Chains A and B, each alone.
Chain A
């Protein structure tokens, strides 16, 4: 079943050939610089390759084939126009250095205009003053934001060493703060599901460089005191970072910049429909308020007075180079295509329906699954399997049983502050009918958990493989063939 491409290899079999121009140059390099044997790549035909990777693909769940209620991941439909524009030769074949030749800007006006326009769109959507498209993923955006915060404080001569992070935060937040050279201080969640304001105020002080928040937070709630959170931080000249992972909840409804956030990253592969691709590539553009503009990474696209575009490398206070060129341009291109199609009105409607879908799920499952914070949620709702766990059925079991129904698992055991968490994010691209099927499945599983808890132990039964032995994988460390 799981035969490797290497095992299909036959000596001498060819996929694609290249013309061989001449052997006259072969001896021009001393043997000591050459490898003795060519790399042992497989020897297979083109059909072997097509059949192998097509058959592998059929062992995956994907948005195109299955509903993905995966909390915090915003698995919305990825429109195919995104892929069509990415195959346009004028972008796909464009060498990044073409922009840096003399007259360089002239050779890539279309690409530079696109970067400029998407920055303008994101500024309006988020209420920020400027954006950089350089960060190549959400976590890369976090690091960028923290480097900006650091540059700001150093420029002002501020002595600051700490970043405050709520305990419900994504794991990347503290990891990013650590590699930016900061100490992380964890703030607990209060009774209303939002950051505990008393603990927050107590932790604030002159040594706090910034606060990293997700809003709505990972429990799926919009903190009604969010403006006070940013205001308090600013009193200590601490900057407030907006983890934009949950931006899909509030497009056209609220803007982080208006709420007082100083720096923000957006996950293009979440909110703006670029494909997840089985784990990347992503896009993590970063937006800033006025006071952080001088520190933005090099280079920056600028619009000249004559309406043409150029790259500015003269940024003396900049944090420097984050990516080799202009970030994941082809991801940005896809995201911009999505923005143009939806438009301002469509983006607002997208967030509205994402939030309505999540609340609908909340209302329809609240009698079967425990809700630690029973109030209106944003684009995702966090149940937990604490009722079911009393019968020995855990969040993991429910998730695995869903797979048998052709439904992807929700996010489990996150946020860490909720035991047995089941985090559900239906996204706006799913219809009421699909969501009703999901609700039906979840209700059925809750019933089985009461009547026949042992049934879960063998789930999933219908997938290509059943539950795997992760302990053996970690011990054996068979990582290459």
Chain B
């Protein structure tokens, strides 16, 4: 690929200007025995060749299956107007907006993103985003320890096990005690948490809906946490906030979540969008970039990254976090998504997800031996009990064209007969019925 524009003439003139004979002379500081000759890699290829190769790889992935996979990462409809905006070079190829004079576009979009996240969650301040839902939850834990100066965390077992695995990795070297709080019949055990909570607890971590799909009102748990000076932290699924009670009105102090469902493709695991919002009084303890308003020297309203004294480029080892980025383009995708679907469309999406799951409940429960765990209300995801190990039905279901869901035994060995199924506005009733019929047929073989 002719990536460098230099002509032989350019190179000659530039070498002359720096008073060197050859390009090799530029690398004299590299110790002689370590100078490398040539990378053992193929030579460059044409754009067409590379595209054809990558396209061939992309065809070796089973995206033709009708998928009911979720587990925190959902296949929602992505409106057509998102890509044309986000791929504009002025957004795509801009740097972090450290020079506000030439970054008002990015900065205002961040401010609008922060505002929308606050409106979704019922919080007062949001940062400009973090890597993903799991790292956002980890950062919330670290933040709660800074605020309370305590180091014990109560982790509800309804929190996504993928996040919990990540948090274990991040915290093993730190002086943090993670204590599990069980759920029973889809709901957090209030008696147990009542006993676990005391003045040594920094925060209670909840997830709504839980990993298993159940919805709850955690207002009482937030109160219990506050009574002992602990913070209430909640990881949420943003689409559910269209109809489900928002964490702000439950009394939650820090809200985090995975924003992938807000217009971001599944993309085999990322990049995604970690969001984080909190109360104003905790803003200075929050990690990540934050955009605020101000005026310029002529008195015009402008936007600027603010509260930077919290961050690593100023505080170094005393920073709130080592995070040095937000996921700007993903935040932009989500802000355009939220603007496009708007107030009414957002509720429609949420209601449709709920409706599909309710429809699926009826269909699934009609299959002999199949039962949806239903001791608590759900939003769009169901824990379904099968008469046989969930793993065993997968190959036949895949053959019939369905990725029916995620067998739960990977993180819960005792739940080998359970499968987690997610439903979104993209699923038609025909697809759901088709999957249920296929499941019934497959189960007959066992």
Contact = CB atoms under 8 A, between A and B. Distances in A.
Direct contact of A and B (CB under 8 A): yes
B410 A100 contact: yes
A26 B43 contact: no
A41 to B, nearest CB: 5
A87 B80 CA distance: 12
B100 interface: yes
Interface in A128-143: 136-140, 142-143
B104 A56 contact: yes
A87 B105 CA distance: 24
B413 interface: no
Given A95-B266, A177-B317, A330-B267, A277 B29 contact: no
A4 B112 contact: yes
Contact of B351 (A26, A64, A95, A280): A26
Given A16-B340, A25-B359, A325-B270, A33 B97 contact: no
Contact of B336 (A53, A414, A476, A480): A53
Nearest to A253: B27
B162 A18 contact: no
Q: Give me the 9 closest cross-chain CB pairs, A-B, nearest first.
A: A64-B89, A325-B269, A90-B58, A110-B60, A344-B41, A343-B44, A320-B169, A281-B271, A277-B329
Contacts of A476: 292-294
A403 interface: yes
A279 B97 contact: yes
Contact of A376 (B28, B41, B352): B28
A21 B294 contact: no
Interface in B15-35: 15, 17-20, 23, 25-31, 33-35
Determine the interface band of chain B, counting residues with CB < 8 A from chain A.
35 or more
A60 interface: yes
A46 B317 contact: no
B418 interface: no
B326 interface: yes
Interface in A51-90: 52-54, 56-66, 68, 70, 73, 75, 77-79, 81, 83-90
B149 to A, nearest CB: 17
Nearest to B133: A324
B90 interface: yes
A41 B316 contact: no
B112 A477 contact: no
Contact of A96 (B29, B57, B109, B266): B266
28 contacts: A6-B115, A15-B341, A22-B355, A33-B215, A38-B344, A41-B119, A78-B93, A79-B3, A94-B268, A107-B403, A110-B60, A147-B169, A175-B316, A227-B34, A278-B96, A279-B106, A279-B326, A280-B325, A320-B169, A324-B132, A324-B163, A330-B268, A346-B1, A353-B11, A356-B26, A432-B13, A473-B294, A480-B124
A417 interface: no
B18 A175 contact: no
Given A90-B63, A97-B406, A333-B54, A63 B328 contact: no
B318 A428 contact: no
A464 B347 CA distance: 37
B94 A60 contact: yes
B101 interface: yes
B87 interface: yes
Contact of B270 (A64, A113, A327): A327
B215 A465 contact: no
A310 interface: no
Nearest to B313: A171
Interface string B134-153: 11000000100000000000
A286 B56 CA distance: 27
A399 B42 CA distance: 41
B131 interface: yes
A263 B137 CA distance: 27
Contact of B61 (A94, A343, A468, A481): A94
B75 A95 contact: yes
B228 interface: no
A15 B316 CA distance: 44
Given A15-B345, A429-B3, A281 B327 contact: yes
A246 interface: no
Given A276-B96, A325-B268, 20 more contacts: A35-B245, A38-B343, A41-B339, A56-B108, A60-B106, A136-B135, A136-B270, A139-B312, A178-B318, A277-B92, A278-B97, A279-B106, A342-B3, A359-B14, A360-B18, A363-B19, A466-B101, A468-B302, A468-B304, A481-B111
Contact of B249 (A35, A66, A325, A330): A35
Contacts of A39: 116, 119-120, 241-242, 246, 343, 346
Contacts of A360: 14, 17-18
B62 A102 contact: no
B343 A40 contact: yes
Given A109-B60, A356-B11, A477-B306, A277 B94 contact: yes
B183 interface: no
B339 A44 contact: yes
A323 B301 CA distance: 39
Contacts of B442: none
B255 to A, nearest CB: 13
Interface stretch (A179-187, A232-240, A440-448): A179-187
Determine the interface band of chain A, counting residues with CB < 8 A from chain B.
35 or more
Contacts of B43: 343-346
Interface stretch (B193-201, B364-372, B390-398, B433-441): B390-398
A428 B358 contact: no
Q: Which of B67, B92, B304, B342 has the most CB of A within 10 A?
A: B342
B211 to A, nearest CB: 12
B358 A95 contact: no
B112 A428 contact: no
A176 interface: yes
Contacts of B35: 253-254
Interface string A466-481: 1111101110111111
Contacts of A331: 270-271
A422 interface: no
B24 to A, nearest CB: 9
A476 B319 CA distance: 22
B26 A376 contact: yes
Contact of B391 (A102, A254, A348): A102
Interface in B45-65: 45-47, 50-51, 53-63, 65
A430 interface: yes
Contacts of B342: 13-16, 41-44
A285 interface: no
Q: Which of A50, A178, A180, A428 has the most CB of B within 10 A?
A: A178
B303 interface: yes
B295 A468 contact: yes
Interface stretch (A196-204, A218-226, A382-390): A218-226
B217 interface: yes
A28 interface: yes
B307 A477 contact: yes
A166 interface: no
B162 A321 contact: yes
A415 to B, nearest CB: 11
A429 B5 contact: yes
A258 B34 contact: yes
A340 B270 contact: no
B330 A281 contact: yes
A323 to B, nearest CB: 7
Q: Which of B126, B133, B294 has the most CB of A within 10 A?
A: B294
Contacts of B103: 59-61, 278
Contacts of A282: 325
B223 interface: no
A363 B20 CA distance: 11
B428 to A, nearest CB: 9
